[in-house]
């Protein structure tokens, strides 16, 4: 199997094809270092490559994974068995290689406790290089938090503007942009607060995308689900989350967008799968967009725990990763049930 995708529309459609989703393996060196420390493994160039390799080389992963978001270091690394650069290796399996291009969230000037994502400086040149290295899509994450004072309209509008500038540059360089406005789930806010903020953020993002000439058919949206904060006193259940998320998106996301690949945002493995499944059950065949996943921890955590940094544990780790990939694949079709766990 290999990639034969001749347009941005074709890439965007393939990224959220029914039965498949995106593996987010774009943790920065600092973040992956913390994950490896949890299993008593030192973070080195070699250990990071070995961990990513066990995910990418898992037999049959291409049946459930449409694409992989890579970090700059990983994009330049190679498979252990063949020594093939990862973009070429993944494309050879029929998996679309992508790249994280933002440089992180930093304090927003003149705003207490809010963040702005950076990385626009030099982005055009970096995108040209990434495209030559084989990346077909990119990712940029904006973060919005909810508390008594936030988010401000200033924070929402500046982050939306940055997302749109990034997306326009991607499309100009033959790269599909994943647009990721994430409302963080930390906090005591209830699901109604989450709905109001998510609705405002998505309206603002799509206004900016439209204003800057971004083609909706050539992008993928990676949003949060509409959920209670993790510290809320009365947290919404699976069906309420699914209904609220769909209602919010019906109001805000144009049908021209081919697919929505949800972020997991720190949800448990099973919650992330159950929420996605319930939304697809509720929609049935009446889908304005394909509903899929772009999970990091919710796909990787069981594999990481099984691996423990030891070569002899690779088969067990791959099995744990493939179980979550298959269950989330079923959830994109509304065919998951809890007794499959």
Catalytic residue among 180, 182, 208, 278: 180
- Can 132 be counted among the known catalytic residues? no
One-letter-per-residue 3-state SS of the chain:
CCCCCCCHHHHHHHHCCCCCEEEEECCCHHHHHHHHHHCCCCCCHHHHHHHHHHHHCCCCHHHCEEEEEECHHHHCCECCCCCCEHHHHHHHCCCEEEEECCCCEEECCCCCCCEEECCCCCHHHHHHHHHHHCCCEEEEEEEECCCCCCCCHHHHHHHHHHHHHHHHHHHHCCCEEEEEEEECCCCCCCHHHHHHHHHHHHHHHHHHHHHCCCCHHHCEECCCCCCCCCCCCCCCCHHHHHHHHHHHHHHHCCCCCCEEEECCCCCCHHHHHHHHHHHHHHHCCCCCCEEEEEECHHHHHHHHHHHCCCHHHHHHHHHHHHHHHHHHHHHCCCCCCHHHC
- Can 180 be counted among the known catalytic residues? yes
Catalytic residue among 20, 100, 139, 222: 222
Give the residue numbers marked as catalytic.
180, 222
């Amino acid at each position: 199997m290999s990639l034969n995708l001749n347009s941005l529309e074709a890439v965007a459609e393939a990224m959220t094809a029914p039965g498949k989703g995106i593996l987010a393996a774009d943790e920065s060196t600092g973040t992956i270092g913390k994950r490896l420390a949890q299993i008593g493994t030192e973070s080195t160039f070699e250990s990071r490559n070995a961990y990513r390799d066990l995910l990418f080389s898992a037999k049959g992963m291409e049946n459930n994974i449409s694409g992989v978001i890579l970090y700059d270091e990983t994009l330049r690394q190679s498979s252990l068995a063949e020594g093939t650069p990862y973009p070429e290796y993944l494309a050879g399996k029929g998996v679309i290689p992508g790249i994280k291009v933002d440089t992180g969230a930093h304090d927003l000037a003149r705003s207490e406790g809010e963040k702005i994502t950076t990385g626009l400086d030099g982005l055009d040149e970096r995108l040209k290089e990434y495209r030559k290295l084989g990346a077909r899509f990119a990712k940029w994450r904006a973060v919005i938090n909810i508390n008594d004072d936030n988010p401000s309209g200033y924070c929402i509008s500046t982050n939306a503007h940055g997302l749109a500038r990034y997306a326009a540059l991607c499309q100009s360089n033959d790269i599909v942009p994943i647009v990721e406005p994430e409302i963080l789930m930390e906090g005591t806010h209830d699901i109604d607060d989450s709905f109001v903020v998510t609705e405002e953020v998505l309206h603002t993002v799509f206004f900016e995308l439209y204003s800057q000439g971004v083609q909706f058919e050539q992008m993928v949206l990676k949003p949060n689900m509409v959920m209670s904060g993790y510290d809320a006193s009365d947290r919404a259940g699976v069906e309420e989350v699914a209904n609220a998320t769909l209602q919010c998106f019906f109001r805000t996301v144009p049908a021209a967008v081919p697919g929505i690949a949800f972020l997991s945002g720190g949800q448990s493995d099973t919650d992330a799968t159950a929420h996605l499944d319930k939304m697809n059950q509720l929609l049935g065949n009446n889908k304005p967009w394909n509903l899929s996943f772009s999970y990091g921890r919710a796909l990787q955590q069981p594999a990481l725990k099984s691996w423990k940094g030891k070569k002899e544990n690779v088969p067990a780790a791959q099995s744990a990763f493939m179980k979550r990939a298959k269950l989330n694949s079923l959830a994109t079709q509304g065919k998951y049930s809890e007794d499959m766990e």
